[in-house]
Amino acid sequence: MDYCVYYDQHNERIIDFFPQAIDLDVKNNINKFWNQAIPRKILIELSTQPMNMQELRKRIGHSNSTLHENIKKLEEAGLIESEIIYEGNKIRLLKPKILFVSQSPKYQTIFKKFFQGLWIDRKQNLKIIDFLDKHHDKYFTAEEISAKLNIPIDEVRLSLDSWNSPVTKAYSDLFKDRPFEKKVMYRSRKRK
């Protein structure tokens, strides 16, 4: 994904874009469709995983004609794409071109960072580790984990970073070794 959009999980307001220097036309298309209920639901659902029309209809609950119309507009705007796959039958798989992930309000994030290592949401932490264990052959960004598990991005980052916290390591043998491999990747911003 070239772009990522962070939104407030409570009021679904866009908080930030990544990268900051997002193309103005793309940003305008994102804002235009984000302010419409059905396209916003489609963008959020497709960020969790690619899916076909039937799966999307079950999750969103609108008619096929309404979904087709909105999907067509989102494809034309360059926010989603479709791919034809063959699994017994011909299936149209819908995929996001931009990842939409929730983010907690800033005051919650600051509070949790202050107590990082002392306070750990064990249930959420185990959910993240279970997800990584199930997909042990792939690398995921924190944003991808957030979208797939529907956990705010800042909480995913805090949870994963807690494994490096000296306070956490001092309190528990459980957290001494990370149960995952951490890989940081960089890429030039220069486009050909």
Concatenating the DSSP letter of every residue in 85-148 gives: EEESEEEEEEEESEEEEEE--HHHHHHHHHTTTT---HHHHHHHHHHHHHTTTS---HHHHHHH
78 is a domain residue: yes
pTM over 0.85? The answer is no
CATH assignment at residue 10 = 1.10.10.10
What is the tens place of the pLDDT at every residue in 1-25? Answer: 678 898 988 888 998 888 878 888 8
Total number of domains in the chain:
2
Q: Do residues 95 and 22 share a domain?
A: yes
Q: CB of 147 within 8 A of CB of 48? A: yes
Could you give the CA distance from residue 92 to residue 149 in angstroms, rounded to a whole number? 24
CA angle 188, 182, 167 (to 5 degrees): 125
pLDDT at 113 over 80: no
Q: Do residues 9 and 74 share a domain?
A: yes
Which domain range does residue 36 map to? 3-99
Q: Do residues 95 and 144 share a domain?
A: no
pLDDT at 58 over 80: yes
Q: Do residues 8 and 69 share a domain?
A: yes
Residue 112 CB-half CA count within 13 A: 18
What percent of the chain has pLDDT above 70?
75
What is the tens place of the pLDDT at every residue in 70-95? Answer: 999 999 999 999 988 887 888 889 99
Q: CB of 146 within 8 A of CB of 152? A: yes
Q: Do residues 53 and 124 share a domain?
A: no
Domain boundary among the residues 46, 66, 99 is at 99
Q: CB of 46 within 8 A of CB of 52? A: no
CA dihedral of 152, 189, 71, 32, whole degrees rounded to 10: 80
